[in-house]
Each structure stands twice: as structure tokens, then as C-alpha cells.
């Protein structure tokens, strides 16, 4: 093998290793997002909890437009719960998150009884 061929082979091997490193470095995640509202429109300040069926919980709070987002969640199945004082708790029991996909889950909350 000539010196030139060895040099080209070394460059090719480096490129293959660099590309495979990028492929392995990609995270296996998706996202969950949505809007929480009542009959009058978006609800700010709602606590949305995502519980992975395989364990672990994360929370988000809706913004002024009633939006919440979990931007990086592992692929799997989640139970979502939306709570706000004065309202009946809302649930979405089996939300599936796929790799690289956004799962949209909106909630319509009803006033609670006192």
C-alpha cells in the first residue's frame, strides 16, 4: 500500500469514526406540549405533571397563554395530570412519546365544587 493510499485510508477511517460518534451522541428523546384552558380561555399557572409509567416525575407550569412544555422526555408512556386550585384535576392516563416527536395534549378544566 502506498503512502497516499494509507493517508486516504486514515482520513476515511477518521470520517467513519466521527460520523458514528455523532450518531451515538444523539439523545433518544421526544417532547410533550399543550394548552390548558377552561370555558373562558387559557389558564395560566396550572401545574402539569408528567409521570413516566416506568418511574420518575417532571412538572411544568402553564404560561400566560395556558401553554406548557416538556421539551426533552425519554421515549415511553406517561400519565399527565393538570391541577389548579378551584378546578377539578384533569388527567391524560396513557400518553405515548416517540423518539423525535412532539405529543400534543390539551386539557379543558372544569371549576371545582366547594
**Which pTM does this prediction carry?**
0.74
Domain boundary assignment for the chain: 29-108
pLDDT (mean) for 70-79:
94
Least confident among 9-23, 53-67, 69-83: 9-23
Q: What's the helix, strand, coil split of the chain in %, to 5?
A: 20, 45, 30
**Architecture in CATH of 29-108:** Sandwich (2.60)
At 113, the pLDDT band (50, 70, 90 cuts) reads: confident
CA gap 48, 99 in Å, rounded: 21
pLDDT digits 0-9 by tens, 32-74: 999 999 999 999 999 999 999 778 899 999 999 999 999 999 9
The span from the CA of 80 to the CA of 36, in Å, is 12
Amino acid at each position: 500500500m502506498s503512502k497516499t493510499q494509507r493517508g486516504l485510508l486514515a482520513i476515511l477511517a477518521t470520517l467513519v469514526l466521527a460520523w458514528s460518534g455523532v450518531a451515538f451522541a444523539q439523545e433518544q428523546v421526544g417532547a410533550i406540549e399543550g394548552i390548558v384552558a377552561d370555558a373562558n380561555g387559557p389558564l395560566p399557572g396550572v401545574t402539569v405533571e408528567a409521570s413516566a409509567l416506568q418511574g420518575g416525575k417532571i412538572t411544568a407550569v402553564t404560561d400566560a397563554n395556558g401553554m406548557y412544555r416538556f421539551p426533552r422526555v425519554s421515549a415511553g408512556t406517561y400519565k399527565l395530570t393538570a391541577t389548579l386550585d378551584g378546578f377539578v384535576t384533569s388527567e391524560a392516563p396513557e400518553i405515548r412519546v416517540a423518539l423525535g416527536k412532539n405529543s400534543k395534549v390539551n386539557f379543558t378544566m372544569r371549576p371545582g365544587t366547594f
